[in-house]
């Protein structure tokens, strides 16, 4: 019996039939991850695990689709709650979050930094550190990412907004500065610059900067109807930036035939433009994605259903 066991182990080692485990990644956040206000919310929900059982696909499902097309093996889960910051997840969801030790975690806080004290980074800093401690307690080597969110048009243009009259660029910079403070406390692998990618899209003419005065011809609206959440295009850009930051792959390597863009009704020129924005933003950060190998062909469009 012992000899047989040794033989089996030897065959497996030589034959290479033992496959490496998939990289587990958990997304912790709110509607900015689960895709509120767009077709992304329930997109490919069967490809990811929603720990809350709400049937959400969201940005995590887009990330999963991108990794599959890139030939990467990721097991993707999400734990999201509308209108919440990390304080909610710490107080109510640790039983789900602590089910296992995750290889990687992408997380973010409330869009105004603090629901009770807008613009105040203190709660984000404290809760990011607390959540990092929880995650490292389960897996000390977890790759942790903080995601800096986008500027909210509904808090920049209306007279009652928190950043009224200061512009989307200012809000995006302020949010990023708060996440940098949180990073100093929680020591993540990187801060993912989603909000700055949105700003770049507007500055380069890919997207319109003010949905309140109409959308300029030839430009995308990254916000949903409420000027708060993202549109399908906005979530797609978010997912591209996360993909590049977490995997180290050039978002442009997915190609303009990328399947999720096709399934969500995003045109090939729009897919190409958003991939370029994501690449350009990552190329100027500590999480710069490498250029695709010379001669690499675009990714093959994946099946319409999984």
In the chain, where does DSSP find H-type helix? 2-15, 31-34, 58-69, 86-92, 94-97, 122-138, 168-186, 194-203, 232-247, 259-263, 268-283
List b or e across 260-271, with b for residues whose CB sees 16 or more CB atoms inside 10 angstroms. bbbbbebeeebb
Closest CA to 251 of 286, 210, 287, 292: 292
* Residue 93: pLDDT over 70: yes
Lowest mean pLDDT among 22-36, 40-54, 83-97, 282-296: 282-296
Backbone dihedral region for residue 297 (phi beyond 0: left; psi -120 to 50: alpha; all else: beta): beta
Question: Taking the mean position of all CA atoms in its chain, how far away is CA 76?
Answer: 12
Compute the distance between CA of residue 114 and CA of residue 129 in angstroms, rounded to an integer. Answer: 15
pLDDT digits (tens, 9 = 90+) for 233-246: 999 999 999 999 99
Tokens of 181: 């403070």
pLDDT digits (tens, 9 = 90+) for 134-168: 999 999 999 999 999 999 999 999 999 999 999 99
Task: For domain 21-283, give the CATH number.
Answer: 3.40.50.1110
**C-alpha dist (Å) from residue 199 to 37, 71, 195:** 20, 30, 6
The pLDDT score that the predictor gives to residue 48 is 98
The pLDDT score that the predictor gives to residue 21 is 87
């Amino acid at each position: 019996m012992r000899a047989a066991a040794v033989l089996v182990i030897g065959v497996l080692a030589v034959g290479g039939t033992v496959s490496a485990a998939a990289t587990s990644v958990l997304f912790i956040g709110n509607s900015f991850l689960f895709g509120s206000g767009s077709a992304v919310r329930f997109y490919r929900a069967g490809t990811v695990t929603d720990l809350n059982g709400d049937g959400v696909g969201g940005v995590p499902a887009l990330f999963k689709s991108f990794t599959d097309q890139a030939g990467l093996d990721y097991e993707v889960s999400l734990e999201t709650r509308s209108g919440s910051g990390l304080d909610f997840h710490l107080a109510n969801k640790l039983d789900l979050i602590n089910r296992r030790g995750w290889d990687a975690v992408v997380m973010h806080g409330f869009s105004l930094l603090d629901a009770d004290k807008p613009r105040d980074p203190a709660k984000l800093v404290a809760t990011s550190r607390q959540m990092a401690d929880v995650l490292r307690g389960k897996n000390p080597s977890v790759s942790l990412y903080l995601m800096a969110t986008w500027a909210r048009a509904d808090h920049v243009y209306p007279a009652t907004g928190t950043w009224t009259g200061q512009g989307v660029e200012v809000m995006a910079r302020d949010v990023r500065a708060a996440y940098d403070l949180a990073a100093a406390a929680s020591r993540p692998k990187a801060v993912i610059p989603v909000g700055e990618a949105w700003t770049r899209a507007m500055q380069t003419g890919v997207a319109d900067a003010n949905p309140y005065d109409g959308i300029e011809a030839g430009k995308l609206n990254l916000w949903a109807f409420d000027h708060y959440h993202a549109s399908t295009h906005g979530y797609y850009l978010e997912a591209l930036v996360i993909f590049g930051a977490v995997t180290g792959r050039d978002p442009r390597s997915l190609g303009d035939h990328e399947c999720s863009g096709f399934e969500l009704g995003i045109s090939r020129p729009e897919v190409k433009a958003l991939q370029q924005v994501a690449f350009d933003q990552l190329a100027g950060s500590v999480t710069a994605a490498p250029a695709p190998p010379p001669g690499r062909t675009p990714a093959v469009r994946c099946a319409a259903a999984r």
